[in-house]
């Protein structure tokens, strides 16, 4: 027995067992560490996926605001989500789904988003975002300061992120040709020695009556009394054969003006007409629906001129009506009739554009059209909507999407 106890046979087994135990412990620890890192990486990827989906939803909603600014209560924005029906005010669910369809975003039921639009309080962009207060505000630009809050909330595989930003619509100053008139032809019914159109032209700053027809001596082209000072100064401010085959304004400018009028509730379809022309931009589809703008009223001012855009029909003025700004007839029906008719003691301070062969019919009793430089420099339209600097942030919002 003593001899057996003194024997060292089998000692290597003990060493092997000890080494195996150490190796197994190290392997299990390494496995546990790798597993933890993989789970953390997975959670991080899910969080990043939620963030990307939320940011994409917010940017898409801001882009939609560029095309459909909520300037009136009739353009109130709904709460949009991945289950919303397709509208002009919401991100299209199918498009967002196509842009965020990798394995990181899971299947359709694991990927959700929601956007809301609310008016701001007119405070500086750096003001604290109070979720409860903002949620209670109107879903359109009720205070008219061209800024709204956009909130986007996204949820991927149970992980949600909430992003907010103040979005502001850009005002684009429009540049108009400084011409008192651009039309196909011109006519006045007065035969006396009096000024009908005052272009306020000088040798260095001409603002002529511009017609597309080329024969100034033809009554079919320029039907007025030359030599009697009806176009001041001294019938010299006349330009013929210009803008042939061209519109007075590029189509992108006209499109921006139409969108601006629509956002402000100043777009009038055929059969409707504004009760007043006092506004920065007014867009009328068919001027025949309006009859005659008359009465001793004044629309706009020299300090705040506007523009009226008409697609078809004859825009008529009478009485002692006064308008500060530009009248622009698109002549979409390509007519050669009198498309702008100035009658009575009407006074237009600004300019008049008529596309195509349409004719301007000036009045007969007084100066009906006076060039006003401010009318060509103070009109603006809506451009793109963008994030206000330092207003973008992520909210700590623990509530999941409903």
pLDDT digits (tens, 9 = 90+) for 147-198: 999 999 998 887 888 999 999 999 889 989 999 999 999 999 888 888 999 9
pLDDT digits (tens, 9 = 90+) for 79-91: 999 888 778 899 9
Cis bond before residue 122 (omega within 30° of 0): no
The reported pLDDT for the residue numbered 43 is 53
User: Between the CA of residue 107 and those of 95, 101, 156, 306, what are the distances in Å?
Assistant: 15, 8, 9, 52
**Encoded tokens for 22:** 């150490």
> What's residue 3's pLDDT?
66
Reported as type and span, the H/E element at residue 359 is strand 359-362
From CA 184, how far away is CA 380, in angstroms rounded?
A: 26
**Domain locations in the chain?**
46-172+384-395, 181-378
DSSP 90: S
Residue 360 phi, psi (nearest 5)? -95, 125
Report whether 196 contacts 234 (CB < 8 A).
Answer: no
- What is the pLDDT at residue 286? 98
Backbone φ and ψ for 351, nearest 5 degrees, come out as: -160, 165
C-beta of residue 304 within 8 angstroms of C-beta of residue 330: no
Sequence-ordered list of residues with C-beta below 8 angstroms from that of 371, at least 6 positions apart, any chain: 180, 198, 199, 200, 201, 207, 350, 351
Tokens of 207: 């603002």
Distance from C-alpha of 236 to C-alpha of 229, rounded to nearest angstrom: 9
How far, in Å, CA of 179 to CA of 76, rounded?
Answer: 39
In which residue are the tokens 């035969």 written? 191
Sign of CA dihedral 254, 257, 263, 267: negative
With beta carbons less than 8 A apart as the criterion, state whether 375 and 162 touch: no
Provide the Cα torsion 361, 306, 171, 57; round to 10°: -80
Task: Report the SS3 class of residue 174.
Answer: coil
Residue among 377, 363, 286 at smallest CA distance from 329? 286
Helices and strands (H and E) in the chain: how many: 5, 24
- What does the pLDDT profile of the chain (402 residues) look like in tens digits? 676 656 666 667 777 778 888 888 777 766 666 555 555 554 556 668 888 999 999 999 999 998 899 999 999 999 999 888 778 899 998 888 888 887 777 776 778 899 999 999 876 655 678 888 888 999 999 998 999 999 999 988 878 889 999 999 998 899 899 999 999 999 998 888 889 999 999 888 999 999 999 998 899 999 998 888 899 987 678 999 999 999 999 999 999 999 999 999 999 999 999 999 999 999 999 999 999 999 899 999 999 999 999 999 999 999 999 999 999 999 999 999 999 999 888 999 999 999 999 999 997 677 899 999 999 999 999 988 888 888 888 988 756 665
User: How far is it between the farthest Cα atoms of the chain?
Assistant: 148
Bridge partners, residue 55, by sequence: none
Helices marked H in 293-394: none
Per DSSP, helices labelled H in 73-130 are 93-99
Neighbours of 51 (CB within 10 A): 18
pLDDT averaged over the chain?
Answer: 88
In the chain, % helix, strand, coil (3-state, to 5) comes to: 25, 30, 45
């Amino acid at each position: 027995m003593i001899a057996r106890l003194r024997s060292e046979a089998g000692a290597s087994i003990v060493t092997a067992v000890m080494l195996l135990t150490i190796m197994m412990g190290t392997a299990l620890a390494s496995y546990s560490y790798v597993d933890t890192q993989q789970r953390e990486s997975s959670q991080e990827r899910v969080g990043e996926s939620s963030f990307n989906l939320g940011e994409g939803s917010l940017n898409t909603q801001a882009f939609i605001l560029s095309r459909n600014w909520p300037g009136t209560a009739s353009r109130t924005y709904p709460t949009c989500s991945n289950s919303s029906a397709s509208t002009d005010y919401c991100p299209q669910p199918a498009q967002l789904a196509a842009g965020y369809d990798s394995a990181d975003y899971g299947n359709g039921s694991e990927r959700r988003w929601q956007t809301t639009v609310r008016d701001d309080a007119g405070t500086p962009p750096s003001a604290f975002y109070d979720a409860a207060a903002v949620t209670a505000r109107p879903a359109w630009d009720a205070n008219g300061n061209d800024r709204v809050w956009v909130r986007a909330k996204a949820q991927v595989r149970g992980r949600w992120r909430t992003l907010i930003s103040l979005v502001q619509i850009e005002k684009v100053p429009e540049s108009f040709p400084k011409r008192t008139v651009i039309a196909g032809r011109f006519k006045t019914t007065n035969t006396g020695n009096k000024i009908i159109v005052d272009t306020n032209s000088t040798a260095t700053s001409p603002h002529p009556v511009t017609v597309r027809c080329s024969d100034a001596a033809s009554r079919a082209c320029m039907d007025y009394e030359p030599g009697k000072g009806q176009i001041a100064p001294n019938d010299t401010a006349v330009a013929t054969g210009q803008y042939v085959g061209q519109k007075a304004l590029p189509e992108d400018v006209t499109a921006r003006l139409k969108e601006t009028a629509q956002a402000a509730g100043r777009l009038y379809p055929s059969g409707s007409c504004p009760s007043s022309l006092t506004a920065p931009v007014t867009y009328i589809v068919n001027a025949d629906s309006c009859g005659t703008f008359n009465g001793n009223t004044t629309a706009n001012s020299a300090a705040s001129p506007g523009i009226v855009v008409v697609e078809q029909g004859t825009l008529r003025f009478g009485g002692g009506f006064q308008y500060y700004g530009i009248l622009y007839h698109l002549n979409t029906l390509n007519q050669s009739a009198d498309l702008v008719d100035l009658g009575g003691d009407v006074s237009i301070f600004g300019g008049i554009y008529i596309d195509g062969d349409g004719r301007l019919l000036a009045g007969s009793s007084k100066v009906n059209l006076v060039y006003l430089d401010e009318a060509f420099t103070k009109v603006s339209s809506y451009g793109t909507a963008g994030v206000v600097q330092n207003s973008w942030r992520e909210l700590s919002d623990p509530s999941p999407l409903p």
